[in-house]
Amino acid sequence: MAGFTTIAMIGCGSMGGGMALLFAENAISVSLFDPSESTMDAVIAKAEKAGYHKRVHKFTDYKSLCNSFSTPRLLVFSLPHGTVGDNVLEGLMPHLSRNDIILDCGNEHYANTERRQKRCEEPGVRYIGCGVSGGYQAARAGPSMSPGGDESALKQILPLLQKVAAKDKDGKSCVGIIGNGGAGHYVKMVHNGIEHGMMSAICEAWGIMRQLGMGYEEIGEEFAKWNASGELKGTFLVSIGADLSHKRKPGKESSPESSNHPLVISEVLDKVVQDITGEEGTGIWSNTEAINLHAPAFTLNVAHAFRLASAYRGDREQANKTFDGGFPPQKIQVRDRAAFVEDLRQATYAACLASYIQGMNVVAAADEEHGWDIDYAQVWQIWRAGCIIQADYISDEILAPVLKAPSVNASSIHLQHDARTARDIRNAYPSLRRVVAKAVETDQVAPALSVTLEYFKVIAGTDLPTVFYEAELDYFGSHMYDKKGDSDAQVKKPVEGKHHFEWKPAVSQAEACGKGKKLPS
């Protein structure tokens, strides 16, 4: 079958607009659809400027949109998740034909994706849930893409996606068939959970460097060094951190970035509001999933709670007054600043690696539960370039040996049991401990870094204080416990305890109130 020469782009905002231009750049005609004509006009204007104007056209109703190209059609969604996608699908349905393909490139919840896949079965439309990563710059230049769903449709669209997707350093496309059902959207959702863990660690390191007395641009230079070599080599979020640290507001004068203009970062307020707008998505879903699947994800969970708390700027200001100024970070004094900054780099790496470990455990648990048959080598490939969590060292040294192993499957994805991961964690641990200790001593805000230290202590600990937790549970709830010596070492899944001790027998109300005493009325 010949490849697609025309596609529809439904939703032409930051991501959809960029992808429309990307397809047009790759010689594909693009039929635009968006409620806002001015949004489509802006895309067409950019296409004209780039010389692809004959390939981009706008449509204002589903019928003419679907009549603008021949079947089997490829319709790309780049929409807000939830009801918008449902409504668009229902609106399109009367105009679709058997074998048409919908490629949903938004951040949709995998359960919605699977519901729509079922809805599309009877009319014979194939619905692919495709995570897209890299933000609007990558949407335009080539994003990382994680499609999942019907195999025949995936095979049909893969050549086109390979053309437009980001390319890794070996020239290979960062797109691949991830698995069936909602696997593609699920992997993107977890990507965002990992992204948030990494962003938290990096911003906490930034805050600590500020209290070490480092200037904004000096921190940018440090991030550039972290990104150039070592364990954070090629880490996209560190590299953009290096870049943004030097950005100044353009002025009216001839020199657009005069050093007299304020650095943009110096004007940014300390709140992340993405999770409480009523349109929130992947940040919440990935953490909810971790909890529902019983996957300990300390770094991801706390990064999320940190973002959330930061959003309440007004409340924080009020509490700051109630607490007589709160607990502001103090200037950090260290004897050897270079050595401490190196500790900070290692600590940041440890939290980034922890985010990957936790995220991969969530993916593997979901894969086992849903039977998505995830292709882990493809997961590795799509995160090589073009995406927000790109981290070259982690990809090459930690993920490749595990995710590309010939026998890999959901039950073998436990990065914390891998010797290379353990080596790096053992190496970074003393630095992480020194950073957290200094942060505690001087009231630095370091939730993801601190909890990562706890995470490693807990997951590799065999003498946890949960002894007492378990005892209290059995005391009041008869929840049972195992005894030292009842080893779980051979058991992969958690097992409940077998013993109960009658710590305090239940007594009648009269006895509880004391013999002879009156019962409360």
Ligand X SMILES: NC(=O)C1=CN([C@@H]2O[C@H](COP(=O)(O)OP(=O)(O)OC[C@H]3O[C@@H](n4cnc5c(N)ncnc54)[C@H](OP(=O)(O)O)[C@@H]3O)[C@@H](O)[C@H]2O)C=CC1
Which of the residues are catalytic? 188, 195
Cα–Cα distance measured from residue 297 to residue 387, given in angstroms and rounded to the nearest whole number: 21
- Tell whether residue 88 is a contact of ligand X (CB under 6 A): yes
If the CB atoms of residues 13 and 230 are measured against ligand 5RP, the closer one turns out to be 13
The DSSP element (H or E) to which 15 belongs, if any, is: helix 14-25
- Tell whether residue 9 is a contact of ligand X (CB under 6 A): no
If the CB atoms of residues 25 and 275 are measured against ligand 5RP, the closer one turns out to be 275
- Tell whether residue 13 is a contact of ligand X (CB under 6 A): yes
Contact partner, 34, from ligand X, ligand 5RP, none, Cβ < 5-8 Å per class: ligand X
Q: How far is the CB of 171 from ligand X (least distance, A)?
A: 24
Q: With beta carbons less than 8 A apart as the criterion, state whether 86 and 93 touch.
A: no
CA distances from 427 to 36, 347, 423, 431 (A): 53, 10, 6, 8
If the CB atoms of residues 259 and 277 are measured against ligand X, the closer one turns out to be 277
Contact partner, 88, from ligand 5RP, ligand X, none, Cβ < 5-8 Å per class: ligand X
- Tell whether residue 189 is a contact of ligand X (CB under 6 A): no
- Contact positions vs ligand 5RP (CB under 6 A): 107, 133, 192, 195, 274, 280-283, 388
Q: How far is the CB of 196 from ligand X (least distance, A)?
A: 13
- Six-digit token string for 308: 């959330």
- Chosen residue from 34, 150, 204, 343 binding ligand X by CB under 6 A: 34
- Tell whether residue 328 is a contact of ligand X (CB under 6 A): no
Q: How many CB atoms lie within 10 A of CB 53?
A: 14
Q: How far is the CB of 132 from ligand 5RP (least distance, A)?
A: 8
Closest CB to ligand 5RP belongs to which residue?
Answer: 281
Each as own residue / partner, the long-range contacts of residues 506-509 (CB below 8 Å, 24 or more positions apart, any chain) are none
Contact partner, 79, from ligand X, ligand 5RP, none, Cβ < 5-8 Å per class: ligand X
If the CB atoms of residues 164 and 344 are measured against ligand X, the closer one turns out to be 164
Backbone angles phi, psi at 58, to 5 degrees: -110, 150
- Tell whether residue 84 is a contact of ligand X (CB under 6 A): yes
Q: Does 520 sit behind a cis peptide bond, omega within 30 degrees of 0 on the bond before it?
A: no
Torsion angle of C-alpha atoms 518, 519, 520, 521, degrees rounded to 10: -90
Contact partner, 274, from ligand X, ligand 5RP, none, Cβ < 5-8 Å per class: ligand 5RP
Cα–Cα distance measured from residue 473 to residue 464, given in angstroms and rounded to the nearest whole number: 15
- Tell whether residue 79 is a contact of ligand X (CB under 6 A): yes
- Chosen residue from 33, 59, 236, 285 binding ligand X by CB under 6 A: 33
Stretch 280-299: interaction string toward ligand X, x if CB under 6 A? -x------------------
- Tell whether residue 107 is a contact of ligand X (CB under 6 A): yes
- Tell whether residue 459 is a contact of ligand X (CB under 6 A): no
If the CB atoms of residues 16 and 447 are measured against ligand X, the closer one turns out to be 16
Which amino acid appears at position 426 of this protein? R
SS3 436: helix
Residue 488 burial class via C-beta count within 10 angstroms: exposed 0-12, middle 13-18, buried 19 and up:
exposed
If the CB atoms of residues 20 and 201 are measured against ligand X, the closer one turns out to be 20
Closest CA to 452 of 297, 231, 299, 291: 299
- Say which residues have a Cβ less than 8 Å from residue 205's Cβ, sequence separation at least 6: 344, 345, 347, 348, 449
In sequence order, which ranges of 212-297 are alpha helices (DSSP H)?
216-228, 236-244, 282-292
Please give the residue ranges that form the binding site for ligand X (CB under 6 A). Answer: 10-16, 33-36, 39, 78-81, 84, 87-88, 106-107, 132-133, 135-136, 281
